[in-house]
Amino acid sequence: MAGIEVTALHKRYPDGTVAVEHVDLSIGDGELFVMLGPSGCGKTTTLRAIAGLERQTTGDIRIGDTLVNDLPPAERDIAMVFQFYALYPHLRTRDNLAFPLRAEGLPKAEVRERVDEAARLMRLGPLLDRRPRRLSGGEQQRVALARALVRRPRAFLMDEPLTNLDAELRADMRTEIKHLQGELGTTMVYVTHDQVEAMSLGHRIAILNKGRVEQIGTPLEVYDRPASLFCAAFIGSPPMNLIEVEVADGKLRSQGGLALTPPPGLPRDRCLVAGVRPEALEVTEPGAERSVPARVVSAEWLGDEIIYVVDHGGQRDVRVRMPPTVRFAADAPVGLRHTGGTPAVYDVSTEELVA
């Protein structure tokens, strides 16, 4: 087992595409580290560089204490699970699992033992004698995971391993992977573009955008204080409301009159935007205490909650998360009240968190 250090990684493909601009990652031993970002931001490329399947243009990669820049994938001692599972189609499950072990030249008895252990961990017993074609998507996924862990590698790399599964199975497998990682204590780098997956799995999350790291932090940090407007818009469903504000008599005031507590150390004379989570707002009866006037644009009933979209001071897309018991009709005049703490504040020109 080992941590992974990625320093100033830059990858330019031969056709000129820059897939990774500049990435620094420091992944601890035994950590479940999630790389999250939109399609095309360079997640897979970064992961493949760590695996040694792609040679970085510049930058260093260290696994444990070894600099692995020039090591072929086979000598890096890591296992990878692909989005498309890449089980060998002509081999039965048992042989698919045994393959990496035979490559190492382990004695037969030990191969058997390890395959059985992995099969037990991933509950593959009845599937051992089937070929991949005769396995369901979820089963193939479990076999792929088992094949990764049978070798007891120093780290697991996962490239969107659950994308091809349906929602329910995905939730199950998520739990399973998290549990397994905890049990084995092996470092895991997990790539996804699904923020729910990232939030529920990761010890820490790195948010990537256009080949750069926008933010690294625990799920809570990333949710509470997104480091940039990009992160603010990316994390959370519905995402943070970004409300233009001005500093006036010790308060942050929006055009519609909403007053927020300013964080300390705000710079003067800049265009500012406050990030307010939908659950930090409240729709009230018009004229309720501390509320400002607003109007319901639309409402989405989601069963356990209602997302109100309200028009507040000309901004027509302010989203508010409310319990399903509170009902307001569309177009109804309502009040809007801030109930959360100090909001995160961003500079419009740099798009970065200022306080």
Partner 1 sequence: MAVSVDEAMSTGPVRDHTPPARRFGGRGRSVLEIALLTVLAVVMLFPVLWMIETSIKENRDVYAIPAKFFDFTVTLDHFKDVFVASSGRSALSASFLNSVVVAGVSTVLATVLGVPAAWAYSRFAVKAKKDQLFFILSTRFMPPVVVVIPIFLMYRQVGLIDTKLGLILIYTAFNVPFTIWMMKGFVDEVPAEYEDAAMLDGYTRLQAFWRFTLPLLLPGIAATAVFALIFSWNEFVFAIFLTSSDDVRTAPPAIAGLIGGTTVDWGLVAAASVVFALPVLVFAYLVRKHLVAGVTLGAVRR
Contact positions toward ligand ATP, by CB under 6 A?
13, 15, 17, 19, 37, 39-45, 193
Q: Closest Cα partner for 55 from 69, 67, 38?
A: 69
Q: Shortest Cβ distance from residue 97 to partner 1 (Å)?
A: 11
Does 44 bind Mg ion (CB under 5 A)? Our answer is yes
When CB distances are held under 5 to 8 angstroms depending on the partner's kind, the choice from ligand ATP, partner 1, Mg ion, none that residue 74 binds is partner 1
When CB distances are held under 5 to 8 angstroms depending on the partner's kind, the choice from partner 1, Mg ion, ligand ATP, none that residue 90 binds is partner 1
Show contacts with partner 1 in window 63-122 (CB under 8 A). 72-74, 76, 78-80, 82, 84, 86, 88-90, 99-100, 103-104
How far CA 144 is from CA of 8, 13, 132, 344, in Å, comes to 31, 28, 10, 41
Does 11 bind partner 1 (CB under 8 A)? Our answer is no
Q: Shortest Cβ distance from residue 34 to ligand ATP (Å)?
A: 13
When CB distances are held under 5 to 8 angstroms depending on the partner's kind, the choice from partner 1, Mg ion, ligand ATP, none that residue 104 binds is partner 1
Q: Shortest Cβ distance from residue 89 to partner 1 (Å)?
A: 7
HSE of 241, CA atoms in CB hemisphere, 13 A: 28
- The span from the first CA to the last CA of the chain, in angstroms, equals 38
CB 158 within 8 A of CB 199: no
Binding segment for partner 1 (CB under 8 A), chosen from 50-58, 200-208, 272-280, 288-296, is 50-58
Backbone angles phi, psi at 95, to 5 degrees: -75, -30
d(CA 59, CA 24): 9
Q: Shortest Cβ distance from residue 343 to partner 1 (Å)?
A: 40
Nearer to ligand ATP, 193 or 253 (CB): 193
Residue type, 11: K
Show contacts with partner 1 in window 144-173 (CB under 8 A). 151
b vs e for 56-91, b when ≥16 Cβ sit within 10 Å of the residue's Cβ?
beebebbbbeeebeeeeeeebbbbbbbbebebeeee
Does 297 bind partner 1 (CB under 8 A)? Our answer is no
